[in-house]
Amino acid sequence: MKYAKFFNITFVSLLVSSIVPLLIWGPFFPDLIVSISVLFFLYHIFKNNNHHYLINKPFIIFILFCTVSIFCSLISENILFSLKSSLFYFRIGVFCCFVWYLIDRDIKFLDFFYYTLMICYLALVIDGYYQFYFKENIFGIEKFGTNRISSFFGDELIMGSYLSRLFPLFFALFVIKKKKNFEIYLICTLFILVDILIYISGERTAFFFLNLSTIFIILLIKKYQKFRLFSFLVALITIIILSLNSSGLTNRMILNPAKNMGIIKSTSKPVIVSPQHDSHFRTAFKMFLDKPILGHGPKMFRINCSDPKYSTGKFPCNTHPHNFYIQLLAETGLVGFSFLLTAFFYVLYCSYRQVKSIILKQERYLSDYQVCLLAGFLITLWPFSPNGNFFNNWLSILYILPVGFYLHSIYSDKNNYRKLN
């Protein structure tokens, strides 16, 4: 019986860890695993009366947001279409609580997840550099143009986003892992290669998020501060050398953004966002002004953006406005928007408390592990950058993965948690 129980928990841990590589091939299988995990979790907590996993402030607030989203769908112009996004979105929050539950039940899950991330990063590093130098990856997928690489993601140019958004979670697990010197050197080399790979992928937003999370981590952690600073500086020096020898990379990643923002003089007018994104932002804001309290309903931007009273007419309609905050303003109004803004202010508040404790030389408000996880929340909630559809399954799973680890760190037994740190 004991072996059967061990096998079941181990199998579930491996299954959840497999989400990381399966995200590379699309949202279907990761979303299937999330849905199965949620059913498994709900069955076990109600059977064993472990209701505390669902009775906590973050989850209750998330359920309130889901309730608001469903209500917005019910008053939208196309109820069934809108409900496709909002009705089952609660599973994302339940899955976060399930990850917390899984760590409590099987501490080895942390090792499984850590090594799965390491293998995925190694595979993408090998294949990404192969594609960069040989113009195609090991499966024959060619580079996009002269400067864009996608590795196993095929025609989706999101490899850099995948690597940069999972990096804070990877580093958090590295911080609490018992390591030998060989593993430390291996991870240091891997981080350097990943930093460079995100740059040569040509994804500017991903590279910005990598820099933002890295600076955040270096400033606020204690133990591996010099380790991350060293790997980051080596990567930056290498990037500078590469840029000097590649005009295409230099133009895309440095010169063009600098010209657009007016840092470097050019004949064109300085802009912060691209004309396409600016057009989508304006359309979404017009939709918000039309229904400012509860919006038009989740998924309704793609339906209403072609309406002449909202459309700017400059660019074709899109499925989303490329910014979470503006999307929620248009689709869920000020009520839905306030939840996202509250989450961002929570990150700022924790950051302030951490900085204050460092300056006053008090006991740190957050552990290094929590700081790294918080860095993941920071880049997800960063309001001044383009991003995908808020209700997209693939993005939602990618964004919320660190949340379950964070919930475990703040709610589980203090003594057990200190063993991790």
pLDDT per position as a tens digit, 29-39? 999 999 999 99
CB 390 within 8 A of CB 327: yes
What share of the chain has pLDDT > 90, as a percent?
66
Q: Compute the Cα dihedral for 303, 306, 308, 312 and give only its sign.
A: positive
Confidence of residue 311 (pLDDT cuts 50, 70, 90): confident
Please tell me whether the overall predicted TM-score, pTM, comes out greater than 0.85 for this model. Answer: yes
| Tens-digit pLDDT profile for residues 179-219 | 888 889 999 999 999 999 999 988 999 999 999 999 999 99
> Mean of the pLDDT values across residues 239-258?
77
Would you state the pLDDT for residue 286?
Answer: 94
Return d(Cα 274, Cα 384) in angstroms, integer. Answer: 13
Torsion angle of the four alpha carbons 48, 67, 340, 308, in this order, in degrees rounded to the nearest 10: 150
In the prediction, which pLDDT does 242 show? 87
> Would you say how long the chain is, in residues?
421
In angstroms, the CA 74 to CA 303 distance is 16
